[in-house]
Structure 1
Amino acid sequence: MEENRKIIHIDMDAFYASVEQRDNKELKGKPVIVGGNPQSRGVVATCSYEARSYGIHSAMPAKIAYKRCPYAYFVRPRFHVYKQVSAQIREIFYRYTDLVEPLSLDEAYLDVTNNKLDIKYATEIAKRIKEDILKEVGLTSSAGVSYNKFLAKLASDYKKPNGLTVITPENKQDFLDNLPVNKFFGVGKVTEKTLRNLGVNNGYDLRKLDLNQLENIFKNRGYIFYQFARGIDHRPVEPHRERKSVGAETTLGSNLSIDEEEVVDILSEICEEVSHRLDYCDKLGKTITIKIKYSDFTQITRSLSLEHPVSNHEDIRTNVYNLFNNIEVSDKQIRLLGVTVSNLIDKKDECTNITIFEYIDSIKN
């Protein structure tokens, strides 16, 4: 039964910024912003909790972050360091279970139903993992414990930073009924507006809508909302889940016209983030897609397929710029930009192919 599973979701606290504070003692306790230069048109990748108290958040233009906190410390990302730290953290996970599903550099699901140390309670495992990470890596993390992935992720976000929340089968409905509707997975701004127009403000209101109503309004997502409002999620932890795409997107702090230079700069930073994520997954991709969402919530996507797979920043950026330059000019303002690389292959497979071709060429010569 699902309710017999023991799932933990670990989420590192302000990961990039916390690594920078750990490695530079002068930044400890200070507002730290990891991302672009505030004198240019960069964006915030993440920021410390001290910076968040000024209303600064990820995806915000760096110049706006600077206005809100002019004495914040702006730091360029060091993705190679974050990747190394993430690998350290993952090794800690594997002490307890092999059923680890990484979601990104700073978060993962663990199924500890049958764990390596035969620890009876998942809460105890979560405590030990948090202690191990703090002692060995010098960073705090937040943990959520429950019987499925949806609830475990909700729980890890409940008391950040350095939190530990447990949602049991007995208390899950009270927790969900009081949860603001925008906290449910899949509820973005447009969906939230639709639900609030229906009088749905929290999980209790959502649970009162029957399945037919939800499916008539939201199609397939209606069934997901129906399940989640009742704490039902049958998805297993998948340690070897095959990635189909790698992407990143950002909602702009203020809407921009398509011909503004800032749009190009933001696209460049998104491409850099996608490149680092591909590197982390050891993947290359042959299809590149750009997404633009306008202020009226309409959106367009443009894609192209490449002869050879790519992963580095410059290759992705060049192709994204080509796609962007062929988008028709519109009077609409842009509110969101996104880049995705799909049709993925493993880097090692590409390297093997190159080695074979080099070998053939050497024979010919």
Structure 2
Amino acid sequence: MSRAPRSSTGRRGWGSAEDGCSILHVDMDAFFASVELARRPQLRGLPVIVGGATRGVVLAATYEARAFGVHAAMPMSVALRQCPQAIVVAPDHHAYHEVSVGVMQLLGDVTALVEQVSVDEAFLDVAGARRRLGPPTVIAAQIRRRVREQFGITCSVGIGSTKFVAKLASGHAKPDGVLLVPRTATVDFLRSLPVGALWGVGERTEAALARSGIRTVAELADSDVAVVQQAVGRVAGAHLFDLSWGRDPRPVVPHRAEKSVGAEETFAVDVADLAVVQEKARDLADRCAVRLRTRGLVTRTVSVKVRTSDFRTLTRSRTLQTPTDVGRELYLAARELIAGVDLGGLPVRLIGVRADGLSAVAETIRQPTLEEAAGEPVRGRREAEHAMDLVRGRFGGSAIHAGTTQVGGVASGSTTTFVPADLS
């Protein structure tokens, strides 16, 4: 089941009034877990958790596991205590990416107005597709059928007059359902919800509103806007007041700009050897670089996240001299950042690398670095990494990976290590 707050009036007495409802929110059901079940049909009907075997967090869980209280972002140790019979499956992000790309292409066949908001959800504006494909409920049924037939997974679709209402509707429709909220029923639908259902209301905002006696959307809508603004701030208060009345002018914007890409990993056991941490950072930097190149982006800022054994999280970042999509350049920056982190003598539990300040390669002016000016083979490294991308695309992400050479016991430069594969 979805963890979103539910409306007690959903689905009753609204008929099929679809006028003015051209916004769809398509959300894959338990996406990572569903992809794994499509690959392993024998696990259907069983409680399955996707994530690290013991020390990581839950990335996704089937609805059979969710019935025991398991949910995404929960520590795996807690999840297994609540559902000890669960089957834990290690994540395969390459497979999830492939399915995500396929689903988004499928949605693009419906309309050019597709706004992908995460790996497993997107908004569509189907106003221009109605004459060709039919009313929104028919389009939603076609999408769900094609997703099931082509990828073996299910999705839920919310239909409304605004993005906000469509997203709420998809949460009510889960799993594997459709919910239409007619324009004329929008306010009644919203008034039946707790205030925490509003877009942007987290625990702190919810608590601030509660101190002003506002616990439901109806109470918020019936309040003076000045009272709401006094509770949560002028801009946020005005925005939430508009949402409580179903007002959300934000259009569906295709090709949403990506702000950052990152990768992180929790070690099986806490690691005290800094060289091992840095080697993992090299792998994570390569993964970030692959995502940058896949999207035609370069990064200007590299950040690292280090979590020590006492669960203290430290972050550091630096701005590069010139934007890049080369894994080795990301790694060298990350290695220096890690070396500068004061771990307090504690071993490392988790390491992460992130690329920020992204821009399109075609729109970015690159100034030569000192390495390039001195004749270092940066261009050759970039071409080598692009060639590795082609191999990964054909044979999978584990078919090839970058390695390091040891010079005087210190990792230096970058080589290529092949995992045995038939490249014919």
Q: Please, what TM-score do these two structures have when normalized by structure 1? A: 0.76
Correspondence for 1:234 = 249
Alignment of 1:55-66 (within 5 A): 55-66=69-80
Shift of 1:322: 6.7
Correspondence for 2:207 = 193
Match of 1:14 among 15, 26, 30: 30
Contact 2:56–2:76 (CA under 8 A) maintained in structure 1: yes
Match of 2:300 among 280, 286, 305: 286
Residue 224, structure 1, aligned to residue 236, structure 2: no
Q: 1:349 to 1:188 in 2, by over 3 A?
A: same
**2: CA distance, partners of 1:317 / 1:69:** 38
> What letter is aligned with 1:227?
D
Contact 2:217–2:244 (CA under 8 A) maintained in structure 1: yes
Residue 165, structure 1, aligned to residue 173, structure 2: no
Q: 1:343 to 1:32 in 2, by over 3 A?
A: same
- Which moved further from structure 2: 88-97 or 138-147? 88-97
**2: CA distance, partners of 1:70 / 1:272:** 35
**2: CA distance, partners of 1:204 / 1:173:** 9
Contact 2:158–2:171 (CA under 8 A) maintained in structure 1: yes
Contact 1:96–1:116 (CA under 8 A) maintained in structure 2: no
Q: Structure 1 vs Structure 2: percent identity of aligned residues?
A: 35
- Which moved further from structure 2: 123-132 or 311-320? 311-320
**2: CA distance, partners of 1:236 / 1:78:** 33
**2: CA distance, partners of 1:218 / 1:50:** 41
Correspondence for 2:260 = 245
**2: CA distance, partners of 1:276 / 1:206:** 46
**2: CA distance, partners of 1:123 / 1:66:** 39
Contact 2:192–2:217 (CA under 8 A) maintained in structure 1: yes
**2: CA distance, partners of 1:115 / 1:131:** 17
**2: CA distance, partners of 1:273 / 1:110:** 30
Residue 177, structure 1, aligned to residue 191, structure 2: yes
Gaps of 5+ in 2: 1-18, 265-271, 307-312, 345-350, 381-424
What's the C-alpha RMSD, in Å, of the aligned pairs?
4.0
Correspondence for 1:153 = 167
Match of 1:97 among 103, 111, 119: 111
Give SS of 2:173's match.
coil
Q: 1:32 to 1:124 in 2, by over 3 A?
A: same
Q: 1:213 to 1:291 in 2, by over 3 A?
A: farther
Correspondence for 1:204 = 218
**2: CA distance, partners of 1:340 / 1:90:** 24
**1: CA distance, partners of 2:261 / 2:86:** 31
Correspondence for 2:121 = 107
Contact 2:21–2:183 (CA under 8 A) maintained in structure 1: no
> What letter is aligned with 1:34?
V
Q: Determine which structure has more spread, i.e. the larger CA radius of gyration.
A: 2
**2: CA distance, partners of 1:103 / 1:143:** 14
**1: CA distance, partners of 2:160 / 2:319:** 41
Contact 2:114–2:253 (CA under 8 A) maintained in structure 1: yes
> What letter is aligned with 2:182?
T
Alignment of 1:206-355 (within 5 A): 206-216=220-230, 217-246=232-261, 281-288=295-302, 303-307=317-321, 309=323, 341-346=355-360
- Determine which structure has greater relative contact order: mean sequence separation of CA pairs < 8 Å that are 6+ residues apart, divided by chain length: 1
**2: CA distance, partners of 1:9 / 1:309:** 35
> What letter is aligned with 2:52?
G
Shift of 1:184: 1.0
Shift of 1:37: 1.9
**2: CA distance, partners of 1:194 / 1:248:** 34
